[in-house]
Structure 1
């Protein structure tokens, strides 16, 4: 009887139809729930998988070609050659600490057994202390033992430290360094920044060092600013993003620093944001049916030129995202498209998309702008004519394809940094006056001979009108006849 009462009580309280034992569905769901981290122990995920909507058209821009960092690409056959260099980096560190030598690998002395054992054990212990914190930084679970994970963190951490040490040969130099540098800014090829600081023995609190690292990783392709809060850096790619967009970082990092105990809470918090954005977008479309208020798209370069928009290259600017529109002229910094810039931009955009509700998507908005601007080869030629695009690629078709692919799956809201520019450009293009003036200029003032012909025709017309007027005037008011 007591057993039945207990069963009824469980059923009425938890909604579980149990007769003696839990149902298989309840058992399955309970096991899944038990796998989740405790709310008070979890932390914000910082190392993500690239969203499939972005990865599909640009897979080669997100996968390492020389070295694997972290668990996602660990053990792939084509990356095993660099594993030996990781061990060399570790040995160089032990030599440096135990023998007080320069961090060099070309003249490597044997490390004493006892000093090496002590130093290595100290590193292992430090990483074990933060192991669970490091595991929670990854968005996807992975099956690795504690020893394997700690060893991976130690080897990868010292490899990165060696690579950024000016005298280090252990991380490989020469032509291979460019491949390693590219691999170090891939979103899925990261380890937490606090792992590197733990192995280094001190935090990177010197802003000059952080700026030098960011400049090197970005190949000086964008301006780098000092970080106000370097302790909030998650990994190397995040360092590049925060250093290149300081205004966005200081504005939005407070939201990012709030505890994020459960990934589901991100979506719960995002519901009112999504609702307001979609509703406001719908209202904008109703109120601005002539497209003057759109902030998500603008016409391509060919259509802009037909609407009277002029293009001008911004001189002497390191910031490729600094775009302005004034008096019908779109001023754009020169963008030099190289094999190094493509993965950098795409991984910065992928990181922004994964942190969508924590910071403004700055580079995502920039890429959306370029995707709108370039649809065809003719658009590329127009921008090249004005010195805005300089490409190391094979031709205009490949450049257009690059921009079109980079814009696939990129999400921006109505509050991005180019929103006001989009409104003003669309308003300009919607003006009939600007279109007629552009057509007149294109049809009649496109070369000196057309201008001369128009002036001559205008002068002839004026003379004809004057002659007609004089004839009519003479008829209406004939000159007085002379007296006989």
Structure 2
């Protein structure tokens, strides 16, 4: 029996299985905290696969090597070449700096393929993709494009403007992220100012996405120096929602997670017509601009453009997959899908300048409902939009009940005063007839004047 056990233990697959099981000892709390870049689950991706697949450039390991994206690979080397030309350091300085944090960088990726466990291969990917991102981010507003030929197909100013939307869409896909630690490390060495790298990177991102055509527009007054993101998608999420995360490695839910969904019973036109809810454009373009006070609902501009669908769904996927992330964008989609229920709602929002799109009023509600369905889950939370939802529902009920109560009181008074006594009722009828006759006699007189 002992010999048989020894034989079993010596089998290759048993040895490999034992090694694999023992390796799980390292999957402690710190292991999960590092993860911030995720593969979208198949059941969600199948709802709208195009929203999660890059069209022009692969960033990070998940989509590297896909044939349709290979054309950009040679341009990554040119980006690194020009990045190094503006630096006083050789490439070895950057590699050594990235090597010090390589375990954290690898740990950022969920389900990292075994081939990317090769440190040298992984570091090469990080420095190539990191330098490409920095060249793109600096290309338009920071004159880096002047280092390239005027007819350069990728990095000239004209090419960057032409490709900006599709590049931006690719850069904000959850499976297509590079940890910001890569970018800040490269910038710190190139600029020689370690403490300023995070703030400078934030300015790059802010300027690049300032005129972005997806839902949330970044504001010039935004204090960008205090944001610290895990990757570009997370940093954009923070700026768009107005929620700063000081400790991104240990992010905790800002709201209680409860078994509650947004259930807004009334569309924006119904609230306006039936409950006299006043609508106005918010002074703030991020989600903090949604405010309901004293019967006035303030809304940030809702923008629908070519990148809106993909960016929203990737922000939602990040909220859904990242432990501790709040469901602010998911809840916003829920909220807007309730407000925008018909072409009438879309027309009303357009008339008060809280909608920006070239789409028809009929197409807008269909679009937002599609995004709502493609989310693949219902956000569970208790936060600002949940409270505003409740306040709107309560306000509607209060207003409509008030009018019903007044109508009921008026009818009761009428019945009590005039209908209780038949002689009083008869007097009311006679008085009404006399009033009608008087009006009939008055009309010819007015016409003769």
- Does the 8 Å CA contact 2:262/2:335 hold for their aligned counterparts? no
Taking the TM superposition and a 5 Å limit, the aligned residue runs for 1:154-165 are: 154-165=127-138
Secondary structure of 2:280 counterpart: strand
Indicate how the Cα distance of structure 1 residues 379 and 59 shifts in structure 2: closer, same or farther if over 3 A, else same.
farther
Which residue pairs with 2:370 in the alignment? 405
Which residue pairs with 1:168 in the alignment? 144
Indicate how the Cα distance of structure 1 residues 214 and 188 shifts in structure 2: closer, same or farther if over 3 A, else same.
farther
Which residue pairs with 2:169 in the alignment? 182
Indicate how the Cα distance of structure 1 residues 311 and 196 shifts in structure 2: closer, same or farther if over 3 A, else same.
same
| Residue 26 of structure 2 is aligned to residue 38 of structure 1 | yes
- Does the 8 Å CA contact 1:69/1:191 hold for their aligned counterparts? yes
Which residue pairs with 2:244 in the alignment? 249
Deviation at 1:62, TM superposition (A): 2.4
Which residue pairs with 1:333 in the alignment? 300
2-structure distance, mates of 1:366, 1:189: 24
Indicate how the Cα distance of structure 1 residues 320 and 421 shifts in structure 2: closer, same or farther if over 3 A, else same.
closer
Deviation at 1:89, TM superposition (A): 1.1
Taking the TM superposition and a 5 Å limit, the aligned residue runs for 1:176-215 are: 176-200=163-187, 201=189, 202=194, 204-205=196-197, 207=199, 209-215=201-207
Which residue pairs with 2:223 in the alignment? 226
Alpha-carbon deviations, 1:146-198, whole Å to 9, x = none? 33322211111111121223232355223023322232222211111111222
Indicate how the Cα distance of structure 1 residues 195 and 364 shifts in structure 2: closer, same or farther if over 3 A, else same.
same
Indicate how the Cα distance of structure 1 residues 344 and 204 shifts in structure 2: closer, same or farther if over 3 A, else same.
farther
Taking the TM superposition and a 5 Å limit, the aligned residue runs for 1:45-444 are: 45-52=35-42, 54-97=44-87, 119-142=90-113, 143-144=115-116, 145-165=118-138, 166-169=142-145, 172=155, 173-200=160-187, 201=189, 202=194, 204-205=196-197, 207=199, 209-217=201-209, 219=211, 221-223=217-219, 225-227=222-224, 230=227, 232-246=228-242, 248-250=243-245, 253-254=246-247, 256-258=248-250, 277-278=258-259, 281=260, 295-305=262-272, 307-314=274-281, 316-319=283-286, 321-355=288-322, 357-393=323-359, 395-408=360-373, 409-431=376-398, 433-434=400-401
Indicate how the Cα distance of structure 1 residues 333 and 437 shifts in structure 2: closer, same or farther if over 3 A, else same.
farther
1-structure distance, mates of 2:124, 2:210: 29
1-structure distance, mates of 2:19, 2:276: 61
- Does the 8 Å CA contact 1:298/1:425 hold for their aligned counterparts? no
Indicate how the Cα distance of structure 1 residues 23 and 84 shifts in structure 2: closer, same or farther if over 3 A, else same.
closer
Deviation at 1:340, TM superposition (A): 3.3
- Does the 8 Å CA contact 2:282/2:300 hold for their aligned counterparts? yes
Deviation at 1:209, TM superposition (A): 5.0
TM-score (norm 2): 0.72
Which residue pairs with 2:418 in the alignment? none
What value does the CA root-mean-square deviation take over the aligned residues? 3.9
Alpha-carbon deviations, 1:98-132, whole Å to 9, x = none? 6xxxxxxxxxxxxxxxxxxx822333333333323
The structure with the largest helix share of the pair is: 2
Deviation at 1:363, TM superposition (A): 1.9
2-structure distance, mates of 1:154, 1:33: 32
Deviation at 1:210, TM superposition (A): 1.3
Alpha-carbon deviations, 1:304-330, whole Å to 9, x = none? 356424352315543355122234443
Alpha-carbon deviations, 1:426-477, whole Å to 9, x = none? 123334735856999xxxxxxxxxxxxxxxxxxxxx9x84964999xxxxxx
Indicate how the Cα distance of structure 1 residues 84 and 434 shifts in structure 2: closer, same or farther if over 3 A, else same.
farther
Secondary structure of 1:339 counterpart: coil
2-structure distance, mates of 1:324, 1:65: 37
2-structure distance, mates of 1:249, 1:90: 31
Secondary structure of 1:313 counterpart: strand
Secondary structure of 1:70 counterpart: coil
Secondary structure of 1:64 counterpart: coil
Deviation at 1:72, TM superposition (A): 1.2
Secondary structure of 2:299 counterpart: strand
5+ residue gaps, structure 2, are 149-153, 408-424, 435-449
TM-score (norm 1): 0.67
Secondary structure of 1:330 counterpart: strand
Deviation at 1:71, TM superposition (A): 0.9
2-structure distance, mates of 1:384, 1:317: 17
**Structure index of larger Rg:** 1
- Does the 8 Å CA contact 1:207/1:226 hold for their aligned counterparts? no
